Amino acid sequence: AQSVTQLDSHVSVSEGTPVLLRCNYSSSYSPSLFWYVQHPNKGLQLLLKYTSAATLVKGINGFEAEFKKSETSFHLTKPSAHMSDAAEYFCVVRGSGGSYIPTFGRGTSLIVHP
């Protein structure tokens, strides 16, 4: 069994300040973890993924995430928010056993103030 919890439904930051979007997961198997971004009225776009290589993963647009097995976390960060980062972000876990069907978090809406 697997699950993913995004700890905040909304995160509000000012432009130029750091971004932290939190994600905890559970998985019976060694998981792969993903972050996707969805801009308004668009499909989801892959930001980055962890697949058991380096625990610090760098993605597009300056985002990165760190896999922490002891904390079962995969938080998404960015040093400095830009207005164009305002979007919905989804954390996704995909286990290495079973049917490999991924489980999506409910999403975190990132609001960026000028």
Residues lying near another protein in the complex (CB under 8 A) are found at 9, 29-32, 34, 36, 41-46, 49, 51, 90, 94-96, 99-102, 104-107
Kindly tell me which of 79 and 106 has the beta carbon lying closer to another protein.
106
Q: How far is the CB of 62 from another protein (least distance, A)?
A: 19
Q: How far is the CB of 70 from another protein (least distance, A)?
A: 20
Q: How far is the CB of 111 from another protein (least distance, A)?
A: 15
Sequence-distant (6+) residues with CB within 8 A of 65 are 33, 35, 48, 50, 56, 57, 59, 74, 75, 76, 77
Kindly tell me which of 70 and 99 has the beta carbon lying closer to another protein.
99
Q: How far is the CB of 69 from another protein (least distance, A)?
A: 15
* DSSP character string of 10-76: EEEEETTS-EEE-EEEEESS--EEEEEEE-TTS-EEEEEEE-SS-SEEE-GGG-EEEEETTTTEEEE
